[in-house]
Structure 1
Amino acid sequence: MSLTQDKIVLVSGSLDGVVNLWEIESDPGQDSSPFRTDPSRSLTVENGAIWGIAICPNSERIAVATREGWLSLWSREGELLKQIQVAEDEGLTRLDWSPDGQLLAVGRVDSRIDLYRIGAGVEVELLTRLVGHESEVTTVAFSPDGDFMMSGGQDRLGIRWHLETILSVDLMQVGCDRIRDYLRQGTRKYLRREVCGH
């Protein structure tokens, strides 16, 4: 669910690949708005059963994840903006947008979490792949201030991820630091030392 200046926007996804949107007029003078039985709009996702759906905080974009490993981005008007196959052998589970609408977290069946940056022109950039769960990720959620993300899995484990730390890490440098002693002792014939500056 998302709340715009004048409307409440509800979205739902189903196993038959249909996304339904309800746009309900929001009248501050009324205690409640009449709920429409028929959706304002329906979208058909052709790449499998929908397992995750999330609407961007500004209500303009909808992210959909399928059990077959596809991630798609739709406009609220029903236009398919972007579609990518994230995982060929493993499906996607749950989604959440960061409060500023720039990051999208995608839970996966294979226990990992993909963190994407979504540009204004719907550019999709994989920032990092988080590893920590031992089984299917069943929930992802950003904190209201966007500093943290929580995830839960079938392994009954809850993880709090500090996003500033994660996004500022130089993975190449961390990897090189971990194997530096090995590189010093290794045989040049079998190692490409120039990768880590040796």
Structure 2
Amino acid sequence: MKLSCVLSAVVALSVPGSLRAEMESEALLRSFDAHSQGVSAVAVSPAGDYFASGGRDGKVRAWTAADYQQTLEAAPSTQPVLGAAISKDGTVAAFADAAGTLSFYSTFKGALLGQTTGLAGISFIDFSVDGRSLLVGVRSGELRSFSATDFRPGKPIRSDSKSPVTALRYAKDRLHFVTGHADGTLQYWSGSLGKVLKAFPAHGAPVLGIAFTPDGKYFCSAGRDGGLKFWSAEGELKKEARGASAVSVAFPEKLNLAVLGGTDGALHVLRLPQGEAALTTAVGPGPVIAAFLPEDRLLVTGDGGGKVKVWRNPLVYRQYKVLLDLGDKAFAAGRYDMAVTKFGEAASLFAEPEVAEKMKLAREKKLSQQQEQLKKMRDLQQQTRDRMRGSNPR
């Protein structure tokens, strides 16, 4: 079952407040003392096999997502790390620091693959949608391009804006993309033409992130001022909502949510496009940054205390607990068909040992119930035949 279908089916349900602290504790899968100062960047690979962090202490690290083995630990410089990104195939991790150094490392060997210095005022890094290059925003407002294979510089992408790029997201068609800038403006680009089709003011503070709707008709922008805005491709404002004061934003791939990392050390989960608060969960000392692993079930956070943490998506985990509760109630009432259904929906969110055991017991009870019903039906049929023979003697 699709994740979005399960969530929409139980979104109106809630977990009692007494379970909230317990859920937050259970949602945390792993915690790493990654940096001696605050975490300033986190990244995950598109395939979800690696995640990485950079800190204000100048160190960078990477881990495997399957078993949390550290594969990289390095210090490109003593300057704070400003950005991190992992290539489409998961083999290269790129980091940018405040000294203008861009470093490329092997995610599985931890070896330095290439390095570029002298990039003034790096404001953004991420790999292109085709995975062939790393895009780097610099102080002049242009995007520099570097090969993802030999790390050589390519042709820069220039616009009329002199404000540094702070966010970028490709449209579903991969032919267009939107950039967000430090002055709060947005630019809608034609990727094939390499030119800006539309530029418009959006926020009163730097743009933190951008996400397109599943149908690709609209996109959402989040600003450091806590504003969430929905736009048409033509730059027409469709809806506006207020979130929390944030330093980062993460948009899931399949869920209509925005997760704001706050200066208060919490993640603020908002439903889109309403902007309604869905959940607030404490992470650690602020500020907090976050990134989702594929399928939106897990996310990685970094906090002001230098810790990197891997979580079950708190909102999805809440729905998981609701489904478990519904399954338990159905089981207790002898409604084993319903119990199997609810446990199955829970397992589609998180394949935990507890739900596997519950599913096994429910299926056994369901089978036993079916066999008992079949036996009763056969006994009834036999009794009917016996009565018919008794009433019709030869």
Kindly provide the amino acid, as one letter, of the partner of residue 23 in structure 1.
Answer: S
Paired residues in the alignment total 151
Residue 117 of structure 1 corresponds to which residue in structure 2?
A: 271
Residue 29 of structure 1: aligned partner:
none
**Rg comparison, structure with higher value:** 2
Q: Answer yes or no: is 1:62 the counterpart of 2:216.
A: no
SS in 2 for 1:40: strand
CA distance change for structure 1 residues 167 and 104 in 2, over 3 Å: closer, same or farther? farther
Give 1:71-150 correspondences, 5 Å limit. Answer: 71-87=228-244, 91-118=245-272, 122-137=273-288, 139-150=289-300
Amino acid at match of 2:254: D
- Structure-1-length-normalised TM-score: 0.64
Offset of residue 145 of structure 1: 1.3
Equivalent positions of 1:1-198 (< 5 A) are 1-5=169-173, 7-25=174-192, 36=194, 38-45=195-202, 47-56=203-212, 58=214, 59-87=216-244, 91-118=245-272, 122-137=273-288, 139-163=289-313, 164-168=316-320
Task: Name the TM-score, length of structure 2 as normaliser.
Answer: 0.35
Deviation (angstroms), 1:167: 4.3
Letter paired with 1:165: Y
Q: 1:123 to 1:67 in 2, by over 3 A?
A: closer
More helix by share: 2
Superposed displacement of residue 101, structure 1: 4.2
> Partner of 1:188 in structure 2?
none
* In structure 1, C-alpha distance between the alignment counterparts of 2:218 and 2:291, rounded to whole Å: 17
Where do 5+ consecutive residues of structure 1 fail to align? 26-33, 171-198
Tell which has more relative contact order, 1 or 2 (C-alpha 8 A, sep 6+). 2
Unmatched 5+ stretches in structure 2: 1-168, 323-394
Q: Match of 1:155, SS?
A: coil
Alpha carbons of structure 1 residues 147 and 14: separation in structure 2 relative to 1, 3 Å: same
Name the SS for the 2:317 alignment partner. helix
Matched residue type, 2:175? I
CA distance in 1, matches of 2:293, 2:204: 30
Whether the 8 Å contact between 1:53 and 1:62 is mirrored in structure 2 is no
* Residue type at the aligned position of 2:286: S
User: Which protein has the bigger strand share?
Assistant: 1
Q: Deviations over 1:13-67 (max 9, x none)?
A: 2222211121324xxxxxxxx6x2x41221212x421241122263443332333
Shift of 1:99: 1.4
- What are the Cα deviations for residues 126-160 of structure 1, in whole angstroms up to 9, with x where unaligned? 210121121112x3221111111222233222222
